Structure 1
Amino acid sequence: MTADRVPAGPSRAEGRSARAEPGPAAGRGRPPTYWLESADPDAFAPPAVLPARADAVVVGAGLMGAATAYWLARLGVDVLVVEARRPAWGTSGRNAGLSLNGLRPVEDGELTLTVLREEGIRAGYERRGHLALASSAEVWERFRAEAARLPAPARLVEALDLAACEELLGRRIDRRFFGGRWFPGGHVIHPVRLVHGLAAAAVRHGAAIASGTRVLGIGASARARFEVLTDRGRIGADHVVFACGLAARELAPPLRDVLTPARGQMLATAPLPPVFGFPLAVDYGSVYWRQVADGTVLLGGCRGLDPDAEASAEERVNPLIHQGLDAFLPRTFPGFPPVTARRRWAGIMDCTPDGRPVVGALPGAPGRWVIAGFGGHGIPPALGSGRALAETVVTGRTPMMLESFAPDRLLREARTTPS
């Protein structure tokens, strides 16, 4: 998911503004999102028996867990991925499927493309470009300043006035917008097929996946460095990788003051005629949307309508925010038909105080690792971060590209910040 910076902390407004997400628990009934429904829901059945031991146990089979397990397996590590629900059932299957690479070394689009090609993963990874509309004069000036800083003629982004945005899109845009940021390098992808493809590739390279298996804790073991306690048995392991988003706070207590929730709301419309040839957003992701091949428009955001309630870790639909989502497209594009939502869902992003993820060793806990805190911007850095972490686990040396993501930078702050 894409997200603005949001306040963190428990929600005091949860009871007044949110209702339960429709649909039964994972594993039964209709999958909760458009992406999960359009991918094979039974790709990874729970194993009949858990292995007694693995070199490394990766907790979580979302994008970060699948990417890390893939690289660990390629490096020859005996790796087991343990997932409480199904692969991609959490945040990785609840986003818009946008890949907007930045300048960080881990955000390597060529690496993503290479892995997809080598492993034969058909996840609909396409370069479409991306247009962000500025809703204020301040954001418009920031867009212009960013474009002006980049060298011509091959600028990574371009600032377009409103008329140029309308020409690019082929539609009128409401006059409350000032212009836009055109990013030709924006890609789209089917996020669940990406996760399932990486998980299947990891299995081909020797990994194992235990879905429907919840980790209850990490204890001491006589046969390995750790004993991973699950609701289906115990697993010995020399390394444990926490790739489970906010759930890492319960399994690794030092992360409790580092990872905070930010809930994102999304809907999928009834199919529409071709309208949007590329994904769009408002500002830096306060609203975001794209149209997929069957005509469905996937639309998310509007957190600002109820920010206190959305600082929540519950996968619940917020009616107040969905009212805003329902009204957004007709309000933004004059003459746009009323929107009929076929699906509605929520997903939980794990965020950090400084906006950078935590990837690396947990200090003072040899063999315990974390890859989390991507705050809704996980697709571009997933394969680069997963590879760098896997190499660190195997070699004990941290690549330079992970230095700014080191967990101890925030753990030190958490220990010294007064409560």
Structure 2
Amino acid sequence: MSRITIPQTFNTKTADAVVIGGGIVGTATAFWLSKTGMKVILVEKRDGLSSLTTAASAECFRTQFTEKSMADIALASVEMFENFRDVVELTDIDIHLCQKGYLFVTDDQAQVRDLEKAIQTYQTLGIPGSELIKGKDLHDRFAFLAPDALAATFNNRDGWLSTHETTYGFAKGAKNVDFFMRTMVTGIQKDNQGICAVETDKGMISTRLVVNCAGPYAGTIGKMAGLDMPLKTVRRQKAFIRTSHPQVPVDAPFTVDLTNHSYWRPEAGGVLCAWVDPDEPESQPADELPTDWDFAAESIYRASRLNPFFETIAADLKADDVDVSAGMYVYTPDDKPVIGPCEEIKGFHLNCGYWCGVMMSPAAGKRVADIVTGKMNNKENPLRYSRFKEGDFEKGDTFLK
């Protein structure tokens, strides 16, 4: 039996594992640890699960990764999303899975070779269903695209879901987890055997295993344990455009313009659109993030380049039709997450460093549990933290990181 509570102050509680962070990554991690028979406590400083970075995401997932270490996690996660009721063993969960695909499109002839190379890599990695679409075929299938669009990669297994329902589905399906809301971690204690306790503003939790799933605050939690991780936090914004204009292609996939880093997808009541600014500076983690006054206009302008229907809907927009929000991506030196133990500190495990936490959360949480229980040797884990010290890493070429 699992419980989501706001605890009163307590003296000392005991857990087999403490998960720090109640986003989708932390909740999935707590779920999989509980499935091993562990008594788990998850601590989250906010009022509810899935209320910070997870809630600010575009709620998407994809299989199209060109690095094996990422593709393996992504494929396993998509399979869990597709079979979510069986995974959490609950029949009344609906995560609103929408598999309309990801479309990476370009009008730059020089990028067509990159698309061809990506398809070859997907095939080598065993990613089923990815296809290269060119010319007339592209416009026949996706008539909303501008005439200049030359080619795209597409996989109709990709898509989006409700991160709120998915996170709470993991929480409801967990076997023996206490989810402590409004509980701030203030310190991590160690002894000569490694991790021994987590200090919170409600009381002490005695444990020998801590999993850092604190999203943009993972670096802060790491320093409490004596670990200075190479993490960079970067603000990312998105805009919701409220519209019922008949030209909006409501069955369109998640569509990415590879030339200017913009993307959009249909959403109930309108569309989501954004662009990834490669020059966005690193910033400190924060719960409340400012948004740029012109972000929505810039996003619409960029998206309209290859999706000209945006020009039509923009002409009728009012200020009340536009909502801009912001969350944070977390980047490591190779733009891949860190999963598994920190060998310098016994009992301190990591599941953080994500720009793609939503789409990898199910399989990443399971990998943490598999390593903890010995089902997987961490030396065989390509996303292990020690790869940075070993020099066994390099940046990949996955689109729209």
Q: Which moved more, 1:55-64 or 1:334-343?
A: 334-343
The number of residues matched between the two structures is: 363
Aligned equivalents of 1:216 and 1:134: distance in 2? 48
Q: Within 5 Å, which residues of 2 pair with 1:16-165?
A: 44-49=4-9, 52-85=13-46, 86-101=48-63, 102=65, 104-107=71-74, 108=76, 109-117=78-86, 118-120=89-91, 121-147=93-119, 156-165=129-138
Aligned equivalents of 2:85 and 2:180: distance in 1? 23
The one-letter code sitting in structure 2 at the alignment partner of 1:91 is T
Contact 2:235 2:282 in 1 (8 A): yes
Give 1:332 deviation, angstroms: 3.4
Q: Structure 1, unaligned stretches of length 5 or more?
A: 1-42, 415-419
Aligned counterpart, 1:263: 235
The one-letter code sitting in structure 2 at the alignment partner of 1:105 is D
TM-score (norm 2): 0.81
Aligned equivalents of 2:241 and 2:382: distance in 1? 39
Q: Compute the RMSD of aligned alpha carbons.
A: 3.0
Misfit runs of 4+, over 4 Å: 148-152, 221-225, 411-414
Aligned equivalents of 2:364 and 2:44: distance in 1? 20
SS at match of 2:209: strand
Aligned counterpart, 2:211: 241
TM-score (norm 1): 0.78
Aligned equivalents of 2:103 and 2:285: distance in 1? 30
Aligned equivalents of 2:84 and 2:260: distance in 1? 28
Give 1:251 deviation, angstroms: 2.0
SS at match of 2:95: coil
Q: Within 5 Å, which residues of 2 pair with 1:324-403?
A: 324-335=298-309, 336-338=312-314, 339=317, 341-375=321-355, 377-395=356-374, 397-398=376-377, 403=381
Aligned counterpart, 1:404: 382
Give 1:77 deviation, angstroms: 0.4
Aligned equivalents of 1:235 and 1:221: distance in 2? 14
Contact 1:221 1:236 in 2 (8 A): no
Structure 1 position 318 matched with structure 2 position 292: yes
Identity %: 20
Aligned equivalents of 1:301 and 1:67: distance in 2? 28
Question: CA 1:163/1:301 → structure 2, altered by over 3 Å: closer, same or farther?
Answer: same
Aligned counterpart, 2:397: none
Question: CA 1:220/1:74 → structure 2, altered by over 3 Å: closer, same or farther?
Answer: same
Aligned equivalents of 2:158 and 2:194: distance in 1? 44
SS at match of 1:303: coil
Aligned equivalents of 2:153 and 2:295: distance in 1? 25
Aligned equivalents of 1:369 and 1:54: distance in 2? 15
Question: CA 1:287/1:115 → structure 2, altered by over 3 Å: closer, same or farther?
Answer: same
> Structure 1, residues 107-151: CA drift from partner, whole Å, max 9, x if none?
212233333343343111132122111253332221123335666
Aligned equivalents of 2:120 and 2:72: distance in 1? 22
The one-letter code sitting in structure 2 at the alignment partner of 1:164 is D
Q: Structure 2, unaligned stretches of length 5 or more?
A: 393-401
Contact 2:257 2:306 in 1 (8 A): no
SS at match of 2:119: helix
Give 1:178 deviation, angstroms: 3.0
Give 1:224 deviation, angstroms: 10
Question: CA 1:163/1:49 → structure 2, altered by over 3 Å: closer, same or farther?
Answer: farther
The one-letter code sitting in structure 2 at the alignment partner of 1:409 is R
Aligned equivalents of 1:248 and 1:285: distance in 2? 30
Aligned counterpart, 1:21: none
Aligned equivalents of 2:282 and 2:111: distance in 1? 23
SS at match of 2:313: coil
> Structure 1, residues 376-410: CA drift from partner, whole Å, max 9, x if none?
x223322112112112223385267x611110112
SS at match of 2:168: helix
Task: Indicate which of 240, 258, 267 corresponds to 1:283.
Answer: 258
